[in-house]
Amino acid sequence: MTVITVPSPPYAGQKPGTSGLRKKVKVFAQPNYAENFVQAVFDVVKPQPGATLVIGGDGRYHNRTVIQAAIRIAAANGYGQVLVGRGGILSTPAASHVIRKYGASGGLILSASHNPGGPDEDFGIKYNTANGGPAPEAVTEAVYLRTQTIDRWLTVESADVDLDACGSTRCGDMTVSVIDPVADYADLMETLFDFGTIRSAVKGGFRMAFDAMHAVTGPYAHEILEKRLGFPAGTVRNGVPLEDFGGHHPDPNMVHAHELFETMFGPDAPDFGAASDGDGDRNLIVGRGRFVTPSDSLAMLAANAHLAPGYRGGLKGIARSMPTSAAADRVAASLGIPCFETPTGWKFFGNLLDAGMATICGEESAGTGSDHVREKDGLWAVLLWLNILAVRKISVDDLAREHWDTYGRNYYARHDYEALPTDKADALMAELKAALPNLPGKAFGHLTVAEADSFSYLDPVDGSTSANQGLRVLFEGGSRIVFRLSGTGTEGATLRVYLERYEMASGNLEQETPHALADLIVAAEAIAGIERHTGRTAPDVVT
C-alpha cells in the first residue's frame, strides 16, 4: 500500500462545538477542509495498527463525498477495518451501538443533526470514542489545536467504495465492510423493551404517528414500528431520508414538526405521536392533545422505566443537563438515587454512564437516552414511552397529570434568538456575567433573585472542570432563568433563554405554559436587556 501525503495548510476555525464541527456545506467543500479535520482527529487519537473505525451519517448532502475521502484517509492512517452503514447511513445512536458492539476504536459521525441540509445548508463531522460516545472535551480541544498546525493529510489511491450494497471490499490494506444500518440497532431495542406487550396494544387498536422528517430515522422506524411491532403501514411519515430533508429543518419541535402537532391536536388524533431529528438522536413526544416537554419526558420515563425489561432492576442514577428542568430531580429524590447536573452536550454524560453512576440521561433539547449506548437516542425514547403506555394502558395526558399530581409541575420553555451578530450576543453575555454578583436580593415583579452564577461543572469521575457553561439566575421558590449561547449554530450567534417555574402538586397544574412563565419572560428582558443589545423584541423559536 502506497501512502500518499497531500500537503495542506491549516484552516482557521475548525473548533468542534457542542456536538462536533458544524459548518455550511460550502465551507466543508473547500479543498482539504474535511480532509484536514479527519486527519487531525487521527493524528490525535493515533489508532493502533489494525483498529476498527465506524463511519456513518444522517444521509445529508455531502455525506457520501466525505465518507469516500474518510475511508481512504483511514486506510492511509493504518486502520485495519472500516464499518460503514449502507447508503452511508447510520443514525447517531446506531453508530454508537455499532462502535460498542464491534469493539471499534471509534467512529466518525457525519451529521449536522437538526440543522437543514443541502448545498447551501449545513454539514458536520463528529468523532466518537471507543465507548461509543462523543469525544470528551480534552480530545476535541486537542483536535482543534492539531487543526491549527496541520500541514498534510494522508490518503491512498483507491476507487470509491460501493456504499449501496452490503459486503466487504478492500481499500489499500484495509477492509471496508458495508453493513445493514438498521439490524443491529433494532435487535438491541428488542432486548430492552417488551415488544410482545406493545404488539398486543397495537392489535387492540393503539395507534401512533411517527414523523421521520425525511431524515435518518425513516428506515429504523419502518423496520421497528411497522415491521417488528405491527403498526399499520403509513404510521411512519416522511420515512425516506432525503439529502435536503425535503427542504425542512429536521428538528422535532412545535415549529418544525407542526404537521404532527396538527394531527395530534386534531379531531382524529391517534393515541401517540412522535418525531425524531436529522441524525435520530432527538425525540418529540406528543399525546392526543398533550405535548410533553422533553424535561418532563425525562422525569416521566425515569419514574416508569422499571416497567420495561431493560430497566426492571431499577435505575442507578439520573443525569440531566443544567438547563433541563428539575422535574427529574424530584423523581430521583423519590427513588432515592442520585441526580447529576452536567453542562449542555451529550459528551458530559459519558463518564457517568461508563462509571455506572447514571442509567438515564436527558436534555431539554429533546434528547433522552440511557446506558444502552453513549448517545441520546430518539427511537429509544419513543419505544420506552410505548412500552410504558402499553403496560399501564393509560393515555399520555393521564400519565402526565398523574405525574404532576405526584411531583408537582415544572413549567418550562426555551426561547431562542437566532442568527444574532456575534459581537452583540457576546456583549449581552459579558454584561450579564459582570452583573451576576449584584443580582441576589433584587426583585423583578414578585420574583426575588436568590442566587446567580456562571455554571461550572466538576466531573465526579475524572475530576475535570468545564467552566462558563451558562449563566443562571435562580429565584426564591425554585423558578429559574438560564442564558447561554448555542454551540451548534453555523450562522452568527444563537441566544438561548431557558425559563422554568415550579408549581407544587397542590398548586395550579392546569395553566398554559406562556401564562405560567409570563413573569419570568419579563424578568429575563429586564435582567439581560435582550432588546437593548440585539434589537429583538421576541424570540425566533419557542420550544
194 binds, options Co ion, ligand VG1, none, Cβ within 5 to 8 A by partner type? none
Q: How many residues does the structure list for the chain?
A: 543
For ligand VG1, which residue of 121, 122, 223, 277 counts as binding (CB under 6 A)? 277
The answer to whether 280 and 245 are in contact (CB under 8 A) is no
x/- site string to ligand VG1, residues 361 to 400, per CB under 6 A?
A: --x-x-x---------------------------------
Report strand pairing: 174-179 vs 541-542: unpaired
Closer by beta carbon to ligand VG1, 398 or else 418: 418
**Could you tell me which stretch among 255-263, 275-283, 294-302, 443-451 binds ligand VG1 (CB under 6 A)?**
275-283
Decide: 177 and 167 in contact? Cβ < 8 Å. Answer: yes
In whole angstroms, the minimum distance from the beta carbon of 323 to ligand VG1 comes to 7
> How crowded is residue 155: how many other Cβ atoms within 10 Å of its Cβ?
21
Spatial separation of the C-alpha atoms in residues 6 and 364, rounded to whole Å? 43
Give which of Co ion, ligand VG1, none residue 346 binds (C-beta under 5 to 8 Å, depending on kind): ligand VG1
Choose the catalytic residue: 91, 111, 113, 297: 113
Q: To the nearest whole angstrom, how small is the minimum distance from the Cβ of residue 213 to Co ion? A: 11
Instruction: Report which secondary-structure segment, H or E, holds 192.
Output: helix 183-192
**295 classed as catalytic:** no
User: For residue 456, what is its C-alpha cell?
Assistant: 461550572
Element (H, E) at 240: none
Indicate the residue whose CB is closest to ligand VG1: 113
Residues 6+ apart with CB under 8 A from 426: 485, 493
The three three-digit cell numbers of residue 483, written as one number: 442564558
CB 109 to ligand VG1: min, Å: 9
> What region, left, alpha or beta, does residue 205 occupy, with left being phi > 0 and alpha being psi -120 to 50 degrees?
left
Q: Given the complex with ligand VG1, which of 298 and 439 has the nearer CB atom?
A: 298
488 binds, among ligand VG1, Co ion, none (CB under 5 to 8 A by kind): ligand VG1
Q: With residue 37 as reference, give the H or E element that holds it.
A: helix 33-45
Q: How far is CA 35 from CA 39, 80, 174, 200, in A?
A: 6, 19, 18, 50
C-alpha cell read off for 29: 467543500
Residue nearer to ligand VG1 on the CB measure, 39 or 534: 534
Cβ-closest position to Co ion: 113
Residues of span 453-492 touching ligand VG1 by CB under 6 A? 486-488
Give whichever of 279 and 503 is closer to Co ion, judged by the CB atom. 279
Site size toward ligand VG1 (CB under 6 A) is: 18
In the window 325-354, what residues touch ligand VG1 (CB under 6 A)?
344-346
Min dist. Cβ of residue 174 to Co ion (A): 29
Taking alpha carbons only, the member of 12, 11, 46, 16 closest to residue 127 is: 16
Cα–Cα separations (whole angstroms), residue 7 to 32, 36, 147: 9, 10, 13
Nearest distance from C-beta of residue 13 to ligand VG1, angstroms: 16
- Which residues of the shown chain bind Co ion in the complex (CB under 5 A)? 113, 277, 279, 281-282
The CA distance from 507 to 485, in Å, is: 33
Minimum distance, C-beta of residue 543 to ligand VG1, in the bound complex (Å): 10
Least distance CB 196 / ligand VG1 (angstroms): 31
Stretch that binds ligand VG1, among 34-42, 46-54, 277-285, 525-533 (CB under 6 A): 277-285
Residues 217-246 binding ligand VG1 (CB under 6 A) are none
Residue closer to ligand VG1, measured from CB, 35 or 416:
416
Measured from the CB atom, is 317 or 470 closer to ligand VG1? 470
- Give me the residues paired with residue 341 across strands: 320
Say how far residue 92 (Cα) sits from the centre of its chain. 9
Distance CA 46, CA 66 (A): 20
Q: Which of 14, 16, 19, 520 binds ligand VG1 (CB under 6 A)?
A: 19
| CA–CA distance, 235 with 274 (Å, rounded to integer) | 10
Cα 394 to Cα 17, 200, 297, 423, distances in angstroms = 40, 14, 15, 50
Distance CA 88, CA 110 (A): 9
The number of CA neighbours under 13 Å toward the Cβ of 201 is 25
The binder of 19, among Co ion, ligand VG1, none, by C-beta within 5 to 8 A per type, is ligand VG1
Q: Tell me the C-alpha distance between 498 and 471, whole Å.
A: 10
Closest CB to ligand VG1 among residues 53, 493: 493
276 near ligand VG1 (CB under 6 A): no
Looking at beta carbons only, is 114 or 237 nearer to ligand VG1?
114
Interface residue with ligand VG1 among 281, 296, 377, 459 (CB under 6 A) is 281
Query: Which residue's CB is nearer to ligand VG1, number 68 or number 490?
Result: 490
Q: Which of residues 105-164 bind ligand VG1 (CB under 6 A)?
A: 113-114
Q: Which residues are catalytic?
A: 113
Q: List interacting residues with ligand VG1 (CB under 6 A).
A: 18-19, 113-114, 277, 281-282, 321, 344-346, 363, 365, 367, 486-488, 496
